[in-house]
Protein backbone atom coordinates (compact mmCIF):
# COMPACT_ATOMS: atom_id res chain seq x y z
CA UNK A 1 0.00 0.00 0.00
CA UNK A 2 2.79 2.45 0.82
CA UNK A 3 4.47 1.84 -2.58
CA UNK A 4 1.21 2.70 -4.33
CA UNK A 5 0.78 5.83 -2.23
CA UNK A 6 4.37 6.89 -2.90
CA UNK A 7 3.91 6.40 -6.65
CA UNK A 8 0.68 8.43 -6.66
CA UNK A 9 2.27 11.27 -4.66
CA UNK A 10 5.27 11.32 -7.00
CA UNK A 11 2.98 11.52 -10.05
CA UNK A 12 0.95 14.35 -8.50
CA UNK A 13 4.14 16.25 -7.65
CA UNK A 14 5.47 15.83 -11.21
CA UNK A 15 2.23 17.07 -12.77
CA UNK A 16 1.95 20.01 -10.37
CA UNK A 17 5.45 21.26 -11.19
CA UNK A 18 5.11 20.94 -14.98
CA UNK A 19 1.56 22.18 -15.58
CA UNK A 20 2.09 25.92 -14.77
CA UNK A 21 4.84 26.02 -17.40
CA UNK A 22 2.48 24.59 -20.01
CA UNK A 23 -0.20 27.18 -19.19
CA UNK A 24 2.33 30.03 -19.43
CA UNK A 25 3.46 28.88 -22.86
CA UNK A 26 -0.06 28.79 -24.27
CA UNK A 27 -0.78 32.26 -22.90
CA UNK A 28 2.35 33.67 -24.56
CA UNK A 29 1.46 31.99 -27.86
CA UNK A 30 -2.04 33.49 -27.76
CA UNK A 31 -0.62 36.97 -27.09
CA UNK A 32 1.77 36.69 -30.04
CA UNK A 33 -1.04 35.45 -32.29
CA UNK A 34 -3.32 38.34 -31.29
CA UNK A 35 -0.57 40.89 -31.97
CA UNK A 36 -0.06 39.40 -35.41
CA UNK A 37 -3.82 39.54 -36.04
CA UNK A 38 -3.92 43.23 -35.09
CA UNK A 39 -1.00 43.99 -37.39
CA UNK A 40 -2.69 42.23 -40.33
CA UNK A 41 -6.05 43.86 -39.67
CA UNK A 42 -4.49 47.34 -39.45
CA UNK A 43 -2.46 47.08 -42.64
CA UNK A 44 -3.19 50.10 -44.80
CA UNK A 45 -5.06 51.94 -42.05
CA UNK A 46 -4.09 55.04 -40.11
CA UNK A 47 -3.19 54.92 -36.39
CA UNK A 48 -6.35 55.28 -34.34
CA UNK A 49 -8.62 53.71 -36.99
CA UNK A 50 -10.82 50.87 -35.79
CA UNK A 51 -10.36 47.34 -37.16
CA UNK A 52 -12.19 44.09 -36.32
CA UNK A 53 -10.03 41.35 -34.81
CA UNK A 54 -11.69 38.12 -33.68
CA UNK A 55 -15.06 39.87 -33.54
CA UNK A 56 -13.79 42.74 -31.39
CA UNK A 57 -13.17 46.36 -32.38
CA UNK A 58 -9.51 47.27 -31.89
CA UNK A 59 -7.82 50.64 -32.42
CA UNK A 60 -4.82 50.47 -34.73
CA UNK A 61 -1.61 51.34 -32.89
CA UNK A 62 0.84 54.00 -34.05
CA UNK A 63 3.85 52.55 -35.83
CA UNK A 64 6.93 52.24 -33.67
CA UNK A 65 9.62 54.72 -34.62
CA UNK A 66 13.14 53.59 -35.42
CA UNK A 67 15.60 53.82 -32.52
CA UNK A 68 17.81 56.93 -32.54
CA UNK A 69 21.44 56.39 -33.45
In this prediction, residue 6 carries a pLDDT of 92
pTM for the full predicted model = 0.45
Closest CA to 45 of 33, 32, 57: 57
In this prediction, residue 40 carries a pLDDT of 86
pLDDT tens, 21-66?
656 666 666 666 678 888 888 888 888 888 888 888 888 887 776 4
pLDDT level of residue 69 (50, 70, 90 thresholds): low
CB-side neighbour CA atoms (13 Å) of 66? 2
In this prediction, residue 67 carries a pLDDT of 55
Domain boundaries, the chain: 2-59
| Alpha helix positions (H), the chain | 2-41
In this prediction, residue 32 carries a pLDDT of 63
What whole-number distance in Å separates Cα of residue 42 and Cα of residue 37?
A: 9
> Would you say how long the chain is, in residues?
69
Amino acid sequence: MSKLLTAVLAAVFAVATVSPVAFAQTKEEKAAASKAAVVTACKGKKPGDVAKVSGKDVKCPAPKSAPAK
